[in-house]
A and B are shown apart, each in its own frame.
Chain A
């Protein structure tokens, strides 16, 4: 049996670990709050953009009446031969099953579409590491064009460090690249795998199609994985102890009012004067719509990552506490056993005299 000193050392070590996980939990909670605020602040723009498109759609003739040709290449559907899959994962670990779930969903998707060519675009270090190891990067020849295809599945781009300080500019670059590739028929569809975040207890991993745009305003979710009830309860508990409100109510009320207003944006039953031909504006707005979707996905993913880390660290802290309790119990027992033994020795020694 271990001696008292060893046990005392172990307890001290576990206590240090608990201190760290507790700090990480609080940090994640603070970051989560900030990420949530950011996501809320980004909503008006996205909502207004969507409603402008909605109103434009009715006025702009998407299909040329004479030739029947589509005005925007982003609305054209082609048979899906090559798919672009954007995987939004986290940059760091220690977030429970967060990264695993994303990668699992993405891998499932890849397997289901095994016979097609798939380009993987990874946002976030964890996803990149995984797919780089597994499939290898695409080879580019010196002049910037793609060389021959090495395999059916390749990693064509990686964007690490985008998530840490999320800025619209960085996301725009990624989105523009995707739009550009779609326009030049390098890819026939673009899907997004990310963790959707509604609140701490309401999140899910979704696979969403962003290109081609089949129906404006409607999200095209191909797959979704809901968290189990246990996971939800765990998350709720963690949020409670970290002081994060589950349903930010005051924010929701302000949100409602804003949404009512933004709904009217652009869709009002007025005859607008269009400075540029409606079709032209329409074509210009579409890529922005894609960017805004991608930005939205990354924002939600960041919030979800922090929420997952908070939950994981809360569990770790609880586990550490349990361990300290049980170790303390053992230590006391060992100590008492040692004392009893000593007393017996003394007593029996005295009796022998």
Chain B
């Protein structure tokens, strides 16, 4: 079919996903965006959140991703993420620990704006993990 997108999810350790889908939801840094076949070329940073593939061969696919960016071309989507997990593999306890650590960072950040940004990122990641856990 000429109307499917090639979607690839690449992490530093390996290529996690390489398949065709009709639509992809990408958690952009400034909000979710959905990409269909023929989308204009786009490059975006990604925030912590879920990537969802619709109309893929094996049904719906979703991954929790954080820290990275995505390239969209009319017929191809490539997502580079430093972290990617399947929702059923997320360790909720670990995520909660991370959330606590993030909040601690936030409390101790003092006047340094860079530290606040860092703390916010950790918290957002942990929240996304907790939310995404177990969901399909």
Residue of B nearest to A284 (CB): B45
- Type the 1/0 row for B12-49, where 1 means its CB is closer than 8 Å to any CB of A: 11110000000000001110000000001111110000
Contacts of A49 in B (CB 8 A): 80
- Segment 268-301 of A: residues with Cβ below 8 Å from B: 268, 270-276, 280-281, 284-285, 288, 291-292, 295
- Does B56 lie at the interface of the complex (its beta carbon under 8 Å from any beta carbon of A)? no
Interface size bracket, A side: 20 to 34
Contacts of A273 in B (CB 8 A): 40-43
Contacts of A94 in B (CB 8 A): none
- Does B60 lie at the interface of the complex (its beta carbon under 8 Å from any beta carbon of A)? no
Of B12, B45, B73, B82, which is within 8 A of A281 by CB? B45
| Cα of A52 to Cα of B41 in the assembled complex, Å | 13
Contacts of B30 in A (CB 8 A): 275-276
| Cα of A52 to Cα of B68 in the assembled complex, Å | 12
Question: Judging by beta carbons under 8 Å apart, are A52 and B71 in contact?
Answer: yes
Question: Judging by beta carbons under 8 Å apart, are B45 and A38 in contact?
Answer: no
Given contacts A273-B42, A275-B28, contact A168 B82 (CB under 8 A): yes
Of A41, A168, A285, A291, which is within 8 A of B15 by CB? A41
User: Taking the nearest CB of chain A, how far is it from the CB of B10, in angstroms?
Assistant: 5
| Cα of A52 to Cα of B42 in the assembled complex, Å | 12
| Cα of A268 to Cα of B80 in the assembled complex, Å | 17
Question: Judging by beta carbons under 8 Å apart, are A281 and B10 in contact?
Answer: no
Contacts of B116 in A (CB 8 A): none
User: Taking the nearest CB of chain B, how far is it from the CB of A334, in angstroms?
Assistant: 59
- Type the 1/0 row for B42-62, where 1 means its CB is closer than 8 Å to any CB of A: 111100000000000000000
- Does A96 lie at the interface of the complex (its beta carbon under 8 Å from any beta carbon of B)? no
Of B10, B40, B42, B45, which is within 8 A of A44 by CB? B10
- Does A42 lie at the interface of the complex (its beta carbon under 8 Å from any beta carbon of B)? yes
- Does A109 lie at the interface of the complex (its beta carbon under 8 Å from any beta carbon of B)? no
Of A41, A268, A291, which is within 8 A of B73 by CB? A268
User: Taking the nearest CB of chain B, how far is it from the CB of A11, in angstroms?
Assistant: 47
Interface size of B by Cβ–Cβ distance < 8 Å? 23
Question: Judging by beta carbons under 8 Å apart, are A41 and B13 in contact?
Answer: yes
| Cα of A172 to Cα of B121 in the assembled complex, Å | 15
Residue of B nearest to A268 (CB): B73
| Cα of A274 to Cα of B73 in the assembled complex, Å | 12
Contacts of A48 in B (CB 8 A): 10, 78, 80
Of A42, A167, A270, A295, which is within 8 A of B41 by CB? A270
Given contacts A271-B41, A275-B29, contact A281 B14 (CB under 8 A): no
- Does A266 lie at the interface of the complex (its beta carbon under 8 Å from any beta carbon of B)? yes
| Cα of A268 to Cα of B40 in the assembled complex, Å | 13
User: Taking the nearest CB of chain A, how far is it from the CB of B63, in angstroms?
Assistant: 15
Contacts of A42 in B (CB 8 A): 12-14
Question: Judging by beta carbons under 8 Å apart, are A45 and B12 in contact?
Answer: yes
Contacts of B12 in A (CB 8 A): 42, 45-46, 168, 291-292, 295
Question: Judging by beta carbons under 8 Å apart, are A41 and B14 in contact?
Answer: yes
Question: Judging by beta carbons under 8 Å apart, are A266 and B43 in contact?
Answer: yes
Question: Judging by beta carbons under 8 Å apart, are B13 and A275 in contact?
Answer: no
Question: Judging by beta carbons under 8 Å apart, are A272 and B80 in contact?
Answer: no
Question: Judging by beta carbons under 8 Å apart, are A45 and B41 in contact?
Answer: no
User: Taking the nearest CB of chain B, how far is it from the CB of A239, in angstroms?
Assistant: 25
- Does B106 lie at the interface of the complex (its beta carbon under 8 Å from any beta carbon of A)? no
The 4 tightest CB contacts between A and B, nearest first, are: A275-B44, A41-B14, A270-B41, A168-B12
| 6 A–B contacts from the bound complex (CB under 8 Å) | A41-B14, A45-B12, A45-B80, A48-B10, A168-B12, A285-B69
18 more A-B contacts (CB under 8 A) besides A42-B12, A288-B68? Answer: A41-B15, A42-B14, A46-B12, A48-B78, A52-B69, A52-B80, A168-B12, A168-B82, A266-B43, A266-B71, A272-B42, A273-B41, A275-B28, A280-B45, A281-B43, A284-B45, A284-B69, A288-B82
